Amino acid sequence: NGNLIVNLGYQFSHRREYTHPTEIDIPGLNLQLATYTYDIKYNFNLGNDFETSVGVNGQFQNNNIGGATVFPIPAYHEFDLGPFLVVKKSFGKLDLSAGARYDTRSITQQAAYVDTANVFYPSLYTGPNPTGTPNVYKQFNALNKTFSGATGSFGATYNFSDEFLLKGNVARGFRAPSIAELSANGADPGSQIYHVGNSNFSPEFSVQGDIGAFLTLPNVSASVEVFDNNIQNYIFQEQIVDANGNPERVNPDGSPNPNGIYSKFTYVQSQARIDGGEFYLDIHPFPWLHFANSLTLTYGTNLGNGGHEPDSLKYLPFIPPLHTHSELRGTFVKGFSDFRNVYAFVGFDHYDAQNQFFAAYGTETYTGAYNLLSAGIGGNLVNAAGKTIMKLFIEGTNLANVNYQ
């Protein structure tokens, strides 16, 4: 009556950053992260053609940090578990779907100590007496946290015709804090930032509504989608300032130094709202020729934790400006001689100026508008049987060599 899908995965990431010019074999950063993922799902028909999926998915992570001289995050174990149920049903032109899920994330980390006997090359202390050994200090406290939350969604699609449909959805979301947001306490040599976490964080919850209209004609495809997402306990970074209101600078070990090479950032929580939309238009007068255009716009507002927020705190960080993309592409499936699926394109991207940025404490600054030009050509080389034996292409972005941020 149904089918069972089991998807298991394993990833190992070994990230090393070498930051000591005179000791090129000693990594400044050395993170060894093993991730095991699982996704088990059973699909079946429940009752009168109710398409149903029930399952569970999540991951287990194990991170080690030894063999380095800087330690921005601790060694930790993390286990995620998320059982879910999804049901779909069609009533003529109306398609309905609903889902429910319950997530749990458990994080365990042990206390970690750093030996600074060699001030230029500190190392992770693994001896039996960290509190009684000279030049050893605690980098990370022990931590054992569990976060959980229920989520759900309800959506509907009305098919006015084969060419036009309208769909909407409302959902409650959940996100547990990451290990960096909870426990970071160290320098990241690549970004020149000293990160500080907060172990008292609560999980994020959101309520989002979105609606979209979709049109598909023989020579034109178009869509318009808008969304509004209200988030509780939204986590983001802000720069730390000293007693005089200036950005705090620190040494690699976190000690204050006005001339230090690292800026100090911490994580904070706030109520937030993210809304925006996307417009898409593809004109294809011939099957081989497409003129595709898209526009995306996102607003991120920091609602604070009660009371009026000053202008410098009004917006969320890392919010992209208005972005438009246009691309003219020709694709020739039959190609020429031994080349098939030959294509050529030229693209144009416009990024608007970003005036709505998180200005508090110098965390972010204004960025100007810019335009990028791209182009490319390529195709598949096939053998006598028509089988692809090689793909050849050359593509370029920012062909006008524009400086941008």
CA distance 372 to 403: 10
Percent with pLDDT over 90 in the chain: 83
CA distance 317 to 306: 19
Torsion of the alpha carbons at 133, 135, 138 and 139, rounded to the nearest 10: -140
Contacts of 26 (CB under 8 A, 6+ apart): 18, 20, 69, 121
Task: Give the pLDDT band (50/70/90) at residue 361.
Answer: confident
Q: Give the model's pLDDT for residue 307.
A: 67
What are the structure tokens assigned to 234, written together?
């939204």
Q: Give the model's pLDDT for residue 243.
A: 83
- pLDDT tens per residue across span 226-265: 999 999 999 999 999 888 888 899 988 888 898 898 999 9
State yes or no: pLDDT of 13 exceeds 70.
yes
Q: Choose between 217 and 120: higher pLDDT.
A: 217
State yes or no: pLDDT of 395 exceeds 80.
yes
Whole-model pTM? Answer: 0.86
- pLDDT tens per residue across span 121-170: 999 999 999 999 999 999 999 999 999 999 999 999 999 999 999 999 99
**Rg (the chain; Cα; Å):** 26
State yes or no: pLDDT of 83 exceeds 80.
yes
163: left (phi over 0), alpha (psi -120 to 50) or beta: alpha
- pLDDT tens per residue across span 304-324: 887 677 888 999 999 999 999
- pLDDT tens per residue across span 180-211: 999 999 988 778 899 999 999 999 999 999 99
CA 161 to chain centroid: 36
